[in-house]
Amino acid sequence: MDRADIKKALKDPHKWGEKYSLWATYFCTGCGIMEIPPVLTARWDAERFGVKPMATPRQSNLFLITGYVSIKTLRAIILSYEQMPDPKYTVAFGSCPIDGGLYHTSYNTVNHLDRYLPIDGWIAGCMPRPEAIFIAVTKLWKMIDGEMVDGYKRYRENIDYYRRNQERVLGKEFIDSIPASTMVKP
Amino acid sequence: MTIWMRIVWIAVLPIVALLISVFFMGLSRKVIARVQRRYGPPIYQPVIDLVKLFTQHSNISHGMIFDMGLIIALAGSLVTLLFIPVGGIHPLSSSGDLLVLIYLMLISPIGVALSAGASGNPNASIGISRKLTLALGYEVPFLLVLLTVMTQGGTTSLVSFVQGQSTSILSWGLFRFPLSAIAMFLILPVMLGIRPFDIAGAPQEIASGPQVEFGGKYLALASIEHGLHLFIVIALFVDLFLGGAANLGTFFLKMLLVFLIGVFIGAVYPRFRIDQALKYCWKWPTLFALLGLILVMIIGS
């Protein structure tokens, strides 16, 4: 951790800020509500790393999607993601966002989340331990250093692909209902 | 103070106040973490947060009032700051500045209310209504306390009032009118908007209230405004009841003491409901302030 390295911070203040001030919106769609709160409170204390829960997507730049994604919650996930200011990082937590996990045969589960949103990191497991969040955060720091996290740029570049997939699952009405202020322009 | 010294301090004082309030915010996060048996973030975490917010690529605006409201709020806070004597430095003070302060302190809440209202978010509207209701609650004891101070000191000038307290510790406002000091101390967390009274910006209930649509630079300006407000209220308390100070070091030490007591109370108490807060404001602080005023008027006559 080079958080106290003043020379490096002055050289690239933007990167310094992005790395050590990850404010999280956590989207507990079902599972994960057991794992995330201990991470943020006294047991594991994510505030050591500058990770802080934020009440609204407008203020946060780390999006934690935990547990399985149903079609109904995908709607809210997309709307929340588009409200977050750039640069933003998404981390999918658990097996279900990767391939549907336990629920992969269900008619109502979205099996591959990365077809609808760009995901920067995956934490596999059902469920992963809370420590996995810290491993993810430190990994994210390395990726920000090497400029390897480009999810929000990919989303902008391939917006047609993502919109097509979103429309197939959620219907044309959903795409039309996205407010113009949050709409991502290619 | 010569005119040139005044001009220099007008430029320097906001920067000093900003540094001090950022330090206070970092300290409060560390202290709260230690009280809750956590390790806590480093003390310069607010600096990292502000740097991040200012350098963010996209800043979503919701129209002109949304932008201007925040600037009005920040300007209001900066002007209020210049009227408060900070350790012997008072760039804009002259006679009657206590009356000016009462009016100027209203500008920044109105600016935030304008800006948050323009975002059109229902959570922001609820937050504003809570904030203004809370203001209604603490304004009554606050005005009574100021009235007591003005009656007893026989002056509406904050500077001459601070000078009157500089002879000995027993001439501090705290010992001259203890009831008013208690009343002001009881409404201090309400005015600062910290736990148990962070009702307006409750993250868990109304998604951080007026700040719900702020992101990037907007949130940075809003948190700077909040920090300056913190500085103003605590500095006013130190000036009125702890005798001000002859130099900056002593003044900031006294401010730190008052702030830490507030943080310790905030670290262990849960949040009140808005009706409970209003009932609290109009009960004990108002009672103490009223008794203090009556006592001062009886003794004075």
- Which region among A108-112, A158-162, B133-137, B167-171 has the lowest average model confidence (pLDDT)? B167-171
Residue A157 pLDDT > 80: yes
Does the pLDDT of residue A152 top 80, yes or no?
yes
**Chain B interface with A: residues with Cβ < 8 Å:** 29, 33, 36-42, 45, 48-49, 51-60, 62, 123, 203-204, 207-208, 211-216, 219
Please compute the mean of the pLDDT values over residues B175-181 and round it to a whole number. 85
Residue A185 has pLDDT above 60, yes or no: no
Over the stretch A28-74, which tens digit does the pLDDT of each residue have? 777 777 888 888 888 888 888 888 888 888 888 889 888 888 888 88
- Cβ <8 Å between A17 and B55: yes
In a domain, A37, yes or no: yes
Q: How far, CA to CA in Å, does B73 sit from each of A186, B68, B216?
A: 35, 9, 17
If we measure between CA atoms, which residue out of A64, A53, A41 comes closest to residue A117?
A64
Phi, psi (rounded to 5 degrees) for A133: -65, -40
pLDDT surpassing 60 at residue B183: yes
Q: How many residues does chain A have?
A: 186
Is A1 part of a structural domain of the chain? no
Question: Residue B286's pLDDT band (boundaries 50, 70, 90)?
Answer: very high
CB half-sphere exposure, B123, CA atoms < 13 A: 17
Residue A79 clears pLDDT 70, i.e. is over it: yes
A158-167, B44-53, B121-130, B163-172: least confidently modelled range: B163-172
- Chain B CB contacts of A14 under 8 Å are 51-52, 55
Shortest distance, CA A54 to any CA of chain B (angstroms) = 8
* CATH code, domain with A68: 3.40.50.12280
Q: What is the pLDDT of residue A180?
A: 67
Digit-coded pLDDT (tens) for B218-259 = 889 989 998 998 899 999 898 888 877 778 888 889 889 999
pLDDT at B163: 79
> Looking at the partner chain, which of B45, B48, B53 has a beta carbon nearest the beta carbon of A16?
B48
Q: Is residue A123 part of a domain?
A: yes
Are residues B38 and A181, on separate chains, in Cβ contact within 8 Å? no
Distance from CA of B31 to the nearest CA of A (A): 13
Task: State which residues form the domain around A79.
Answer: 23-175
Say if A145 falls within a structural domain: yes
Residue with more model confidence, A185 or B197: B197
Q: Name the residue among B153, B143, B180, B141 with its Cα closest to residue B280.
A: B141
Q: What is the pLDDT of residue A16?
A: 85
> 3-class SS at B90?
coil
Q: Cβ–Cβ of B41/A86 closer than 8 Å? A: no
Put simply, the answer to whether A58 touches B60 (Cβ < 8 Å) is: yes
Inspect the interface and report whether the beta carbons of A86 and B57 lie closer than 8 Å.
Answer: yes
Q: Is residue A95, in this structure, part of any structural domain at all?
A: yes
- All residues of chain B having their beta carbon less than 8 Å from the beta carbon of residue A54 are 203, 208
Rounded to 5°, the CA angle B137-B142-B144 comes to 110
Three-state SS sequence of chain A:
CCCCCHHHHHHCHHHHHHHHCCEEEEEECCCCCCCHHHHHCCCCCHHHHCCEECCCHHHCCEEEEECCCEHHHHHHHHHHHHHCCCCCEEEEECCHHHHCHHHCCCCCECCCHHHCCCCCEEECCCCCCCHHHHHHHHHHHHHHHCCCCCHHHHHHHCHHHHHHHHHHHHCHHHHHHCCCCCCCCC
Q: Which two tokens stand for residue A184?
A: 């991502």
B51·A13 Cβ contact <8 A: yes
* pLDDT tops 70 at residue B1: no
Quick check: B182 and B173 in contact, CB under 8 A? no
* Number of structural domains chain A divides into: 1
Regarding an ipTM greater than 0.90, the answer is: no
Q: Is residue A163 part of a domain?
A: yes
Which residues of chain B does A45 touch, with a Cβ-Cβ cutoff of 8 Å? 33, 38-40
For an interface test with A, the pick among B36, B48, B208, B217 (most A C-beta atoms closer than 10 Å) comes out as: B48
Domain ranges across chain B? 3-300
Q: Is residue A71 part of a domain?
A: yes
Residue A186, pLDDT above cutoff 60: no
Confidence of residue B301 (pLDDT cuts 50, 70, 90): low
Would you say residue A185 lies in a domain?
no
What pLDDT does A12 receive? 81
What pLDDT, on a 0 to 100 scale, did the predictor assign at position A162? 87
Average pLDDT estimate for B76-84: 88
CB contact under 8 A, A59 and B48: no
Top pLDDT among B89 and B143 is at: B143
Q: Which of B40, B49, B211 sits opposite A21 (nearest CB)?
A: B49
Average pLDDT over residues A138-160: 86
Q: Which residue of A has its CA nearest to B61?
A: A181
**Residue A136 token pair:** 């993810």
Q: A106 to chain B, minimum CA–CA distance in Å?
A: 32
Using 50, 70 and 90 to split pLDDT, how confident is the model at A183?
low
β-pair partners for A25: A63
pLDDT for the residue A184 = 59
The mean of the pLDDT values for chain B is 86
pLDDT given for residue B40 in this prediction = 85
Backbone φ/ψ region at B42: left (φ over 0), alpha (ψ -120 to 50), beta: beta
Q: Is the pLDDT of residue B166 over 60?
A: yes
